[in-house]
Amino acid sequence: MRPFNYEAPTDLATAVARASVSANAHVNSPIQYKGGGTTLIDLMKLDVMRPEVLVDITGLRDEAMHRIDHSAGELRIGSLVSMAALHEDESTVRDYPLLTESLWQGASQQLRNMARLGGNVLQRTRCSYFRDPSFEQCNKRVPGSGCAALDGANRGHAILGTSEHCIALYAGDWAPALIALDARVEVLGRSGLRTLEFKDLHRLPGTTPHIETNLVPGELITAIIVPGGPKRRSLYRKIRDRQSYQFANASAAVALELDGDVVRDVRIGLGGVATIPWRAHKAEQALRSQRLDEASATAAADAEFMDATTRKGNLYKVSLGKATLVRSLLEAKAMEVA
């Protein structure tokens, strides 16, 4: 690991001002925030990320960033809350089971204890070419260098939202649940506080896969807000190579409202198949006002994956992604509403 300066401000404004000085949106921005560090420190050890300054934000004395708040008819999660703390929060388990279920399936207990939720949504891809600097071709790590995964080992790569410049998978489990629940993100930067829809946080790779989010350089996520709403049937289903801690080959987060057998509303987030947390708008559109059964669920899955772009190793994700979605929808339908 390369030498770096370590700073641990206790004041939020000071931290943001410090990180805004020369930060940029590239993976190797010279100033990086450090929360739990579960992604960042790994990538520093691998020499993929080479920050000159780490701004440790875990000791910030901003109480709201450490708190889970259910008081305003919605759920406000401070970005420094750990995965474990939210997973064990009884009110969240009762009212937002999709969130806690996806957290449970998203990491080992040790990681849940360390990782903070603001960092969780910004976790980096597991693409092996990105994580190994001995490979010269990686547009995400070295812009303009090419993409070794296009014709390389791409079994774990994305089939939705890809470009000719990058097919790296967004590997997280919690973000598909957030996107299905219409979450928002509160961020603080040099220009002050702003809120953006969670669906607008991540950027498709396009021609600039090294710029992964719509955050302005130096902006810090301070909270994630999940609207309240009607009781829904909801679940998170994750298919992976082994049942213990492993990234998804395909996953689906479903929040469903029914009138009898007919879909009044449905929100679907997909994981394991796309370059960003994926809102399945086409499937949702196909299902609204339809009777939910195997045929309509299959038609919705077909619509969502119609534009999938596959490579030699990840062709299987089309059928797996569809099957995961169909099964999740039918299982959600069969649930009792609490």
Nearest distance, CB of residue 221 and ligand SF4, angstroms? 22
The number of angstroms, rounded, from the C-alpha of 306 to the middle of its chain's C-alpha atoms is 23
Distance in angstroms (rounded) separating the CA atoms of residues 313 and 151: 9
What's the DSSP call for residue 310? -
Tokens representing residue 322 in the block: 């569809």
Q: Which helix (H) or strand (E) covers residue 244, if one does? A: none
Nearest distance, CB of residue 145 and ligand SF4, angstroms? 8
Residues making contact with ligand SF4 (CB under 6 A): 125, 127, 129-130, 138-140, 147-149, 166-168, 209
Nearest distance, CB of residue 190 and ligand SF4, angstroms? 29
Q: Which is nearer to ligand SF4, 125 or 324 (CB)?
A: 125
Distance in angstroms (rounded) separating the CA atoms of residues 119 and 111: 12
Sign of CA dihedral 165, 168, 172, 177: positive
Instruction: Give alpha helix (H) positions in the chain.
Output: 12-20, 40-45, 83-87, 90-95, 97-106, 109-114, 117-120, 174-180, 281-287, 294-305, 316-334
**Taking Cα atoms as reference points, which of 83, 101, 91 lies closest to residue 253?**
101
Q: Which is nearer to ligand SF4, 135 or 305 (CB)?
A: 135
Nearest distance, CB of residue 127 and ligand SF4, angstroms? 3
Q: Which is nearer to ligand SF4, 9 or 209 (CB)?
A: 209
Q: Which is nearer to ligand SF4, 30 or 152 (CB)?
A: 152
- Nearest-Å Rg of the Cα atoms of the chain is 20
Nearest distance, CB of residue 217 and ligand SF4, angstroms? 20
Q: Which is nearer to ligand SF4, 96 or 129 (CB)?
A: 129
Q: Which is nearer to ligand SF4, 127 or 301 (CB)?
A: 127
